[in-house]
Amino acid sequence: MSARTTSYLSKAPINKTAVTVEHQVTAMAADLYEIGLYDPDAGPTESVMIPRVWDAETILKSMAWLRHKNRDGRNIYVRPQGEHDLTLVDDLTQDAVIAMKDAGFHPAVIVETSPGNFQAWLKHPEPLGKDVSTAAARALADKFGGDLGAADWRHYGRLAGFTNRKAKYLDPGSGLYPFVHLIEAGGGVYPEAERFLAGVRNHIERRRSERERLREQISRMAIPPKDLKTIDAFRADARYGGDGTRIDLAYSVYALSHGASAAEVEAAIRSRDLSHKGNQRRQNDYVVRTVEKALLTIERGR
């Protein structure tokens, strides 16, 4: 691990968990962190997620409370607040981590979340905007076999030093959960950063240009709004078997390719109850992903 220029432990209880946490947050080097205490089995009067926004010193001062909540069943997560210079790549094998290093993508932080399963935080030379940050996360997950479902600009990673409370990791013999281990915390920018980010930005610009050309083509063949089939017509179509996800995508492809705007399509998708998708942020993510997938389908078709 790299040498640390700041230590907060003189103001916090000295224990192995605190030392591990300090190494991780120091290597991540954010001004503020969002700490999430997650328990999917929380009772009806409890929050599934308890969020906090803290600096590194406050995290260290709160170790006793975090350890108590972890023992009580909550998983402890961390991410930088706001736009930042880090990308999380989740669900990596050990071979994938080695491949990252060999390719010049040395992580600033490596965490073993469960036996043989890793998360890597890569540090960029500067903070990234949301679109570039998300595109970078997706490109890295795709390149090294990470979880594409966790590839976005603000995904939580695990805070090392606490236990992974997922039921599937419970040891039936001992009744214990595995600890989340901090493997490396060098904190440096990865060598391929400049080249990689240039490629990500070029890809975003190409996609933007392609979509603009596609919109121009669609506008020339748009049909009057009154003649467009509604999403209700798709919902009543027996071919989709009442599958809301298939219906949303099929309608999005149809409407966008006949001149409807993305905002109009998003509004149509939201006309059904999306609460089963999760909280409002997850519902928004679903709608945006559906429209993006429809646009990509149209682009490929043309």
pLDDT tens, position by position, 80-95: 999 999 999 999 999 9
Number of structural domains the chain divides into: 2
Same domain, 14 and 125: yes
What pLDDT is stored for residue 157 in this prediction? 98
What pLDDT is stored for residue 221 in this prediction? 59
Output 176 or 296, whichever has higher pLDDT. 176
Same domain, 177 and 225: no
pLDDT-derived band of residue 165, with 50, 70 and 90 as boundaries? very high
Same domain, 252 and 148: no
Rounded (10°) CA dihedral 48, 50, 51, 55: -150
**Does residue 2 have a pLDDT over 50?**
no
**Does residue 14 have a pLDDT over 60?**
no
pLDDT-derived band of residue 262, with 50, 70 and 90 as boundaries? confident
What pLDDT is stored for residue 97 in this prediction? 98
Pairing, β 75-80 against β 33-38: antiparallel
The CATH number given to whatever domain includes residue 138 is 3.30.70.1790
Among 94, 84, 177, 178, which residue's Cα sits nearest to residue 137? 84
Residue 40 lies in a domain: yes
What pLDDT is stored for residue 15 in this prediction? 84
Q: Which helix (H) or strand (E) holds 284?
A: helix 280-301
pLDDT-derived band of residue 13, with 50, 70 and 90 as boundaries? very low
Give yes or no for a contact between 242 and 263, defined as CB atoms under 8 angstroms apart. Answer: no
What pLDDT is stored for residue 5 in this prediction? 40
Residue 200 lies in a domain: no
For residue 177, the enclosing domain spans: 9-190
The predicted model gives 126-151 an average pLDDT of 95
What pLDDT is stored for residue 211 in this prediction? 75
What pLDDT is stored for residue 7 in this prediction? 60
The mean predicted confidence, pLDDT, of the chain is 90
With both helix axes pointing from N to C terminus, report the angle between 280-301 and 262-269 in degrees, rounded to the nearest 10: 130
Output 5 or 39, whichever has higher pLDDT. 39
Residue 243 lies in a domain: yes
Task: Give how far Cα 132 sits from Cα of 110, 150, 293, Å.
Answer: 22, 15, 18
pLDDT-derived band of residue 295, with 50, 70 and 90 as boundaries? confident
Same domain, 16 and 163: yes
Output 256 or 78, whichever has higher pLDDT. 78
From CA 87, how far away is CA 190, in angstroms rounded?
A: 11
From CA 28, how far away is CA 252, in angstroms rounded?
A: 39
Among 130, 132, 145, which residue's Cα sits nearest to residue 120? 145
Same domain, 74 and 126: yes
pLDDT-derived band of residue 49, with 50, 70 and 90 as boundaries? very high
Residue 214 lies in a domain: no
What pLDDT is stored for residue 281 in this prediction? 83
Same domain, 161 and 267: no
Boundary (domain end) residue, out of 171, 190, 209: 190
Same domain, 91 and 181: yes
* Close Cβ partners of 151 (under 8 Å, ≥ 6 residues apart): 89, 90, 134, 137, 138, 140, 141, 142
Q: Which helix (H) or strand (E) holds 139?
A: helix 130-144
AA identity, residue 55: D
Same domain, 95 and 158: yes
Same domain, 66 and 115: yes
Token code pair at residue 260: 């409807």
AA identity, residue 297: T
